Amino acid sequence: MKFVSLAMLASLAASALALPAHHGRGHHGGHHGHQGDVYKKHTIRAKGIEASFMEYGAIITNLWVKDKTDTYRDIVLGWDDTTQYNLNAQHPYFGPIVGRYANRIKNGTFTLDNQTYHIPLNEKGFDTLHGGDVGFDRRNWTVVDKADHSITFAMHSPDGDQGFPGNVDVKVKYTLTDDQEWAVDYEATTDKDTPIMLSAHTYWNLDAFTTSDTAFDQVVQIKADKYIDTDGYLIPTGDFVNVDGTPQDFRLPKAIGKDLHQSKSCGDNCTGYDNAWVLSHPSPDEPQMSVYAPSTGIAVDITTDQVAMQLYTCNGLDGTIPVKKTQTYHGKQQFVQQYGCYVIEAENYIDGINNPQWGEEHTGIVRKGETYTQHTKYHFSVKK
């Protein structure tokens, strides 16, 4: 793997500092290709914020906001060569929309309307992760609308896709606002009853790898009194765990690294966080989760109409994936280390389809003729 020279790194950093709203930061280090190329970046902008996406996976490849020195920082992880989102064998789900059913489904089976369905066991042969072998993250979406501040992607998932019933049509709209907000609006319809749970699987680092190769100092708050109990395969047991006295207590702001090494509820032989917190008072009008990087001053407040938030602290990364050139400053980190990032997923109760005791509203079942919707918003600010 080649890395840019220090002079080029300095030039990249300087360009990120100086470029105005139409500067094209979203084109650093990417594969652009010809018109119709699913790996081509599409960039939208608003005051103080810019983001790039591509049709493959409806993936976010770059997200630029200002830090406390008024420098633009790219705060999401990904690949410089955008074909690697598809071709790289590690496939960590960098930045796509995951579905038809996000997170895990126990044993790759579920029963709906007295019929049992079998879907791919694409996680170590034990369960289904993020919709199967060819989930929505590996599909070619289509840009159906684009404006300066927004872009809408659409795709069709046919009846029987990965074993799921029903023809499903999906749209995802990404919008930036002059209040430094990134909004994600989801909509899906089906002609048969089917489980649908979508989520943006964005990898974050609000430090943008400027001062540390871990996210230990970044501060998280989650407004949740309990989380979903899981087994060694991260499959829900059907129970909930009160966060009192556990490393999973983020009701008050807390650095990710403070209790991380005491957190073992993330699967067999795992240390870190990979849990779904049940929001205590779900509301789309108030932040349900917040993250802050003291090093850059960048903060994000997340509002959603969903009832759970999953936090994964990159426990499985091992230093073999390169940091994007937009994030390699002063010749520092060149590979993403374990705990060097985190994923935040706004979603319903995980594997609710196999836990009907939680109520049908948590199963993810969308009935024929109904419309699945979700709205999640990320509001960025700077603490100086």
Computed from CA positions of residues 153, 157, 158, 159, in that sequence, does the dihedral angle turn out positive or negative? negative
Residue 375 among the catalytic residues: no
What does each C-alpha distance from 285 to 282, 304, 377 come to in angstroms?
A: 9, 8, 10
Q: CA Rg, the chain, in Å?
A: 20
Nearest to 25 by CA among 71, 83, 90: 71
Residue 22 among the catalytic residues: no
Query: Would strands 127-129 and 203-204 be described as parallel, antiparallel, or unpaired?
Result: unpaired
Give the Cα separation of 341 and 330 in Å (integer). 19
Nearest to 296 by CA among 227, 364, 205, 371: 205
Using an 8 Å Cβ cutoff, are 15 and 29 in contact? Answer: no
Nearest to 372 by CA among 84, 97, 116: 97
Give the Cα separation of 14 and 5 in Å (integer). 14
Using an 8 Å Cβ cutoff, are 164 and 158 in contact? Answer: no
Query: Would strands 342-347 and 203-204 be described as parallel, antiparallel, or unpaired?
Result: antiparallel
**Which of these is catalytic: 28, 55, 130, 201?**
201
**Which of these is catalytic: 50, 55, 345, 347?**
345
Nearest to 162 by CA among 105, 222, 214: 105
Structure tokens at 368: 């024929």
Please give the positions annotated as active site: 201, 345
